[in-house]
Amino acid sequence: MAKILIVDDAAFMRMMIRENLKKDGFTDFAEAANGEEAVAAFRAGPPPDLTLLDITMPVMDGLAALKEIRAIAPDAKVVMCSAMGQENMVIEAIKLGALDFIVKPFKPERLLQTVKGVLG
C-alpha cells in the first residue's frame, strides 16, 4: 500500500485527511506541520508515494516546499491543498510540478478520487 505524506499546519486537517483515506484502505501515513518538516522528510529517507501539501503554512509555505521537494525527488507525486481564492498559487504550483490540487474544504470523494488518480 502507498505511503502518503500529509503536510498541513492544522492538526485537525491532517487528521481529517488521514481518517478519510483510512476508510478506503490506506494505512501508511507520515505527517508534517509545515513545508520545512516536509522537506526534511524527503531528505531523511525514501520519498513517500504521494504528498498532500497545503499551500499556506508558517515556517515554509507549500510553494517553497514544493520547489525543494522537486529538487530532492524530481519524480515526487505532489497534490496541493488550497483554500478558496488561491487560484494564482495553485497555477504556480502546477507550473512547479504539482500533479493536481484539492480545494479545502474538500469532499471526501474528491480526496479519494484525486489520490487514486495520482497513484494510478
Q: How confident is the model at residue 117 (pLDDT cuts 50, 70, 90)?
A: very high
Query: What percentage of the chain reaches a pLDDT higher than 70?
Result: 98
pLDDT tens-digit readout, 24-42: 999 999 999 999 999 999 9
pLDDT of residue 1: 74
Q: Cβ contacts of residue 80 below 8 Å, gap of 6+?
A: 53, 54, 55, 62, 66, 89, 90, 93, 94, 98, 100, 101, 102
Evaluate if residue 88 carries a pLDDT over 90. no
CATH 3.40.50.2300 is held by the domain 3-47+60-119 = yes
Output DSSP code: residue 76. -
Query: Distance (Å, rounded) from C-alpha 65 to C-alpha 40?
Result: 10
Instruction: Say what the pTM is.
Output: 0.93
